[in-house]
Amino acid sequence: EVQLVESGGGLVQPGRSLRLSCAASGFTFDDYAMHWVRQAPGKGLEWVSGISWNSGSIGYADSVKGRFTISRDNAKNSLYLQMNSLRAEDTALYYCAKDRGGTLEDWGQGTLVTVSS
């Protein structure tokens, strides 16, 4: 059974940093691209960033480019999102998702990030 477990969320002040993690199990992690998707309270889904199986291809939404960095450690079956210069508008539930042929086939339960002073 595929499991994706996000962690690292919390309350952080504007301008500070936070690092999210996603622990994967139940599948061969280094066979798949992975993504971070967020959902602000009461709002829709917003793609944040994606990374190919070997980290050779990485993409970011314009809203986070230059502030967020996605990475993965295939030896640890883990996906990360380093978030710097956080803003109030980054407040959201952050999901990690497994990509199969362009489809976000499996999702974690999310970790909540709240940016507030």
Partner 1 sequence: QSVLTQPPSVSGAPGQRVTISCTGSSSNIGAGYDVHWYQQLPGTAPKLLIYGNSNRPSGVPDRFSGSKSGTSASLAITGLQAEDEADYYCQSYDSSLSGLHVVFGGGTKLTVL
Contacts with partner 1 by CB under 8 A lie at 35, 37, 44-47, 50, 59, 61-62, 65, 95, 100-110
C-alpha closest to that of 58 among 66, 47, 69: 69
Least Cβ distance, residue 46 to partner 1 (angstroms): 7
How far is 50 from 58, CA to CA, in rounded Å? 6
Minimal distance in Å, beta carbon 7 to partner 1?
15
Beta carbon nearer to partner 1, 56 or 101: 101
Question: Closest CB to partner 1 among 20 and 37?
Answer: 37
Query: C-beta of 35: minimal distance to partner 1 in Å?
Result: 6
Which is nearer to partner 1, 13 or 62 (by Cβ)?
62
**Residue in the block written with tokens 């994967």:** 24
Closest among 63, 52, 109, 61 to 85, alpha carbons compared: 63
Give bridge partners of residue 49 from the DSSP assignment.
36, 60
